[in-house]
Structure 1
Amino acid sequence: MNYWLFKSEPETWGWDAQVARGEAGEEWDGVRNYQARNNMRAMQLGDLGFFYHSIKEKRVVGVVKVIARAHPDSSTDDPRWECVDIAAVGPFPKPVTLDDCKAEPRLANMVLVNNTRLSVQPVTPEEWQIVCAMGGYRG
């Protein structure tokens, strides 16, 4: 299994909206960055990801799972863009902020700490365990 982080502006698509989609999940569309797209192309069914509220909140608020592998993004006719579908797994009891991650020395190499602009990014198994522990998530 691989781990990821999905960033979204909560005013556009927040955790509550993701949860409301239930097991049907939602297409993670609208990504227009090649590196983020390539990360989605690498995803497998069942991979887990952090759901991260960006911009004002800057915090991990929940866990999602990949329920459909990369496919054409329905929000564009441009064949270069693909996306995955994700479904909510569970909320973080205590959201983990970007500042929390930056303050944790074991997360110094985490993509989120070093490249806050990348909307879909990999997370190592060690980073996954650390952030889950910080947020009280026991999945």
Structure 2
Amino acid sequence: MNYWLMKTEPDECSIDDIATAPKQTVIWDGVRNYQARNFMRAMQLGDQVFIYHSSCRQVGIAGIVEVSRTAFADPSQFDATSPYVDNAYVDNNTASATTAEAARWSAVEVTYLQHLTRLLPLAELKALPALSANPLVRRGQRLSVMPFTDAEWQAVLALQ
């Protein structure tokens, strides 16, 4: 099993939203960074993911989900009404136009596992020696999707 962290703005998709979604499953879409997309493409069924609330009053790790469907074409890239639309696809005026068969962007499905016993704030995570090399605690390195080692995962779980 691999471990990951996904950042989300709680007003868009919080751990509570996932917990109350039908079948407690959501599509994780809208990722528009190539490195983060490649991490999503590396995810396997059963991998566990920390849900990290960002761009809000209380920033930190809020819960855990599990990858329940591996990478597939992100449907939002084909939706002209979506803020995540891939205009190259919609305009279809360029040679790099995205197609369903060769999608530029990927999504995964995640299923709720649990809330943490408390929100683990970024300041506390930054003080954790086991995370000193993790991009989450390094300024300018925070992708929306990033891997965690087993040791980093266990160190975070020990905080709750």
When normalised by structure 1's length, the TM-score is 0.92
Matched to 1:23, the amino acid is K
Instruction: Say yes or no: does 1:109 pair with 2:110.
Output: no
Matched to 1:132, the amino acid is L
Larger Rg: 2
Correspondence for 1:75:
76
How big is each residue's C-alpha offset from its partner over 1:103-122, in whole Å with a ceiling of 9 and x where there is no partner? Answer: 11221011211255300100
Correspondence for 2:11:
11
Instruction: Say yes or no: does 1:28 pair with 2:28.
Output: yes
Unaligned runs of 5+ in 2: 79-97
Farther off after superposition, 40-49 or 18-27: 18-27
CA RMSD of aligned residues (A): 1.3
Unaligned runs of 5+ in 1: none
Aligned residue among 111, 117, 121 for 1:87: 111
Correspondence for 2:89:
none
Contact 2:39 2:147 in 1 (8 A): yes
Correspondence for 1:62:
63
Contact 1:111 1:123 in 2 (8 A): no
Q: How many residues align?
A: 135
CA offset at residue 36 of structure 1?
Answer: 0.6
Contact 1:53 1:59 in 2 (8 A): yes
* CA distance in 1: counterparts of 2:135 and 2:71, whole angstroms: 21
Secondary structure of the 2:159 match is helix
Matched to 1:52, the amino acid is Y
CA offset at residue 22 of structure 1?
Answer: 4.8
After the TM superposition, list the runs of 4 or more consecutive aligned residues in structure 1 that deviate by more than 4 angstroms. Answer: none
CA offset at residue 24 of structure 1?
Answer: 5.1
Matched to 2:5, the amino acid is L
Contact 2:24 2:112 in 1 (8 A): no
Matched to 2:39, the amino acid is N
Matched to 1:128, the amino acid is W
Contact 1:66 1:85 in 2 (8 A): yes
